[in-house]
Amino acid sequence: MTKPPQGQPTRIQLRTIIERIQKLQPVAIGLVIIAASLKIVESVNNIVQFRESVCRTDLSAPLCPPEKLDPPQWIGTKIEDVYIKKLQNYEPETTLVVTDKFPDRTEKKDISVLRNVDQEISEIGVKKRNSGQYEAILRRAKKNGTPLCLKIYGKRKFATSEFKNIIEIDEKFPDSKTYDSLNPEERDKKCKDKHEIPIPPQG
pLDDT of residue 31: 74
User: Which one, of 100, 107, 110, 115, lies nearest residue 183 by Cα?
Assistant: 100
The Cα–Cα gap between 185 and 202 comes to 28
State if pTM tops 0.75: no
Using CA atoms, how far apart are residues 94 and 85, in angstroms rounded to an integer? 5
The closest alpha carbon to 171, from 151, 185, 154, belongs to: 151
Q: Do strands 94-99 and 113-116 pair parallel, antiparallel, or not at all (unpaired)?
A: antiparallel
Q: How far is CA 128 from the centre of its chain?
A: 21
- φ and ψ of 34, to 5 deg: -60, -45
Q: Say whether both 189 and 142 belong to one domain.
A: yes
Whether 4 maps to a domain, the answer reads: no
Q: Name the residue range of residue 152's domain.
A: 73-195
Do residues 54 and 117 both lie within one domain? no
Claim to verify: residue 111 and residue 179 sit in the same structural domain: yes
Same domain, 151 and 51: no
138 and 55 in a single domain? The answer is: no
> What's the structural domain count of the chain?
2
Claim to verify: residue 90 and residue 183 sit in the same structural domain:
yes
Residue pair 116/99 in contact by the 8 Å Cβ criterion: no
| Residue 179 and residue 137 in one domain | yes
Q: What is the CATH number of the domain that holds 174?
A: 2.40.50.340
pLDDT of residue 100: 95
Give pLDDT, residue 169.
92
Q: Are residues 89 and 148 in the same domain?
A: yes
Which mean pLDDT values do the consecutive 10-residue runs of the chain (203 residues) have? 56 70 68 75 60 56 68 94 84 88 90 78 66 89 94 88 89 86 94 77 55
What local confidence, expressed as pLDDT, does residue 147 receive?
96
| Strand partners for 11 | none
